[in-house]
Homo-oligomer: A and B are copies of this chain.
Amino acid sequence: MTVLGPTAPRQLPYVAPLPLSAVRFDPASLLGSWQELNAAATIPHCLDNIRRTGVLANFSRLIEDDLPGKFVGFWFADSDLYKTLEAIGWEMGRSGTDQWGGVLAEVADLLEQVQEPDGYLNSYVQGSPDQERFARLEHSHELYCAGHLLQAAVALHRGGGDARILAIARRVADLVVELPHIDGHPEVETALVELYRETGEDSYLRAAEFQVESRGQRTLTGGFGPQYFQDHLPVREATEATGHSVRQLYLAAGVTDLHLENGDASLLKAMEQLWDSAFGSKMYLTGGHGSRHRDEAYGDPYELPPDRAYAETCASIAALQWCWRMLLATGQARYAEEMERALFNGIAASMATSGTAFFYSNPLQLRTGHDGSSEDAPSERLPWYDCACCPPNLARLLASLHGYAATADASGLQLHLLSAGTFTADSLTAVVETGYPWDGDVLVTVSGQGELAIRVPSWATGAGLTVTGAKVLVEPVPGEYLRVSCDDGATVRLTLPMEPRLVRADERVDAVRGCVAIVRGPLVYCVEQADLPDGVLVEQLRLDASVPVTSEQGDAFVRLRFGAIVRPLETELYKAYEPDSQSGDPITVTAIPYHAWANRGPGAMRVWLPTSR
């Protein structure tokens, strides 16, 4: 059975997604293990917390007279339920599980009863006598919530064939298409496009177009200004990434989705400029977006503080979703590379190894003495959040992750995210064996015939290649696609260089001046206080770039070892400048993957390390 994934263009894009059912990650691979953990731990945890925190009760109290109390949580809490439903939909499509049939029936019953005759459905507005529908769209998130319902309905329909929630969502959408307003939080754009793809109903696409084309009239006002709401400029002119980062990135994904269906080249051009702004001057090394806690927003260009990185989990997920659509529209490797960066670093770091605790913000530095008492900057992952947008967002991404790994076009198959697994296009199937991202050896065995393209990361200078039964069309070049014309039974062995590398930032990123980060393959590394000897603080380390960094296979991941010196702590906040030799005692220090940090109790951490020169 064919199960379509989270983007299923009706117009032929540059490269086309594979159905979810045409890809399977090896469960022992890193990406595969995350999907297993998501199914076993994260989705159930989300369901438990949605029930515990009253998200379901917000609906049921509207139809049961005996339920006490008021609406609880944030006014957009409905979306937490919908994102979890979406995760269930993709997971049903992935594994065929039917374990959540009871929950789905319960929710469908509830939504059917709460939904008003004209299709309106929003437990906050319906349950708040002082709220009028669609009256305060700059803040109300009504279309945001509706969008997540639409996406859940599509996922459930594709993954499990559920028709009831799709019908509910269509009634909501039929109301949205009549609406002459936009929402303060973009999200419904992509959802409407996807619902159009699933149903063929043109009015949904036209509504998405209305939502996109109506941006920039400055009709949305409030505390943080029009940028915050993505209403400062029309989308073709809004080519600097700004405002609330999740809103910016969801909108960009929606605009790109619209382009994928209507082919409007001016939309793609604007998105390319916006992408250059976001990924060229406002993105963290970990693929995080959003420098500011105040309004969860992008900062000025090169304003990228590691300690106060907001880098919301949802923003990295949204960035991945946008990049995916840019990849479909253009076939360019840079979009896939940024998906991989976000996935293995910013997104992966947001989840504990247990699968049941999460970061909302994802800093690249935690200081000795950090006050982690506030939910916006905790010292460790938390089981749940008052604003719980991130955990179910992660669940829906992970359940559908294999849908983002590969594409097909008329000539064959393209592999964008390297992972052990099986990838099937029309004319050929690729079985990938690799320990990537821990190991750079990638062996692909092809059945059927056609062209196989494998993305070569931009850092993979000197990648090796051996093929049998295949003809090399394009040699492996960093940042391009290796292209091989394969006969049945061909093998392709690509060997990526996995030596640890030191990277630095553009000199305008003041916050990490004089620092380097250690990366290996696609993984950013960090130093945790837990790996330092007593009496040495993370803040005292200066990396000695003249000492080679070495790798060491551990149980769960590859550890790195690097040379550093230990600087004495100073006692004056400001003092006379003297050229300084940065001397100190030599030490060898362990670094671990950034995504694995904060799994050993609270403690200081750094990605960016000052050098000793």
Chain A residues within 8 Å of B, Cβ to Cβ: 224-225, 227, 242, 279-281, 283, 285, 292-294, 299-303, 305-308, 365, 367-371, 373-374, 376, 501-516, 539, 545, 567, 569-570, 572-577, 579, 608, 610-611, 613
Contact = CB atoms under 8 A, between A and B. Distances in A.
User: Closest 7 CB pairs between A and B?
Assistant: A502-B577, A514-B514, A293-B294, A504-B577, A294-B294, A300-B367, A516-B577
B610 A545 contact: no
Given A224-B374, A279-B573, A308 B299 contact: yes
Contact of A369 (B301, B510, B608): B301
Copies in the complex: 2
A368 B545 CA distance: 31
A197 to B, nearest CB: 34
21 contacts: A224-B374, A225-B373, A225-B374, A242-B371, A293-B294, A294-B294, A294-B376, A300-B370, A301-B369, A303-B367, A306-B510, A307-B510, A503-B575, A504-B574, A505-B574, A506-B570, A507-B567, A508-B569, A510-B610, A514-B514, A577-B611
B545 A579 contact: yes
Contacts of A367: 300-303, 508
Contacts of A303: 307-308, 367
Given A511-B510, A513-B513, A300 B227 contact: no
B503 A573 contact: no
A46 B43 CA distance: 57
A577 B513 contact: no
Contact of A572 (B292, B302, B506, B576): B506
Contact of A503 (B242, B539, B567, B576): B576
Given A305-B305, A576-B503, A511 B511 contact: yes
A247 B268 CA distance: 49
A294 B516 CA distance: 28
Contacts of A503: 574-577
A13 B93 CA distance: 77
A510 B376 contact: no
Contacts of A292: 293-294, 308
A315 to B, nearest CB: 16
Contacts of A374: 224-225
A506 B227 CA distance: 36
A342 to B, nearest CB: 14
Contacts of A506: 570, 572-575
Nearest to A461: B576
Given A303-B308, A503-B574, 11 more contacts: A279-B573, A302-B539, A303-B307, A365-B510, A502-B576, A504-B574, A504-B576, A506-B572, A506-B574, A510-B511, A513-B513
A581 to B, nearest CB: 11
Contacts of A307: 299-300, 303, 510
Contact of A573 (B281, B539, B577, B613): B281
Contacts of A509: 573
A507 B373 CA distance: 26
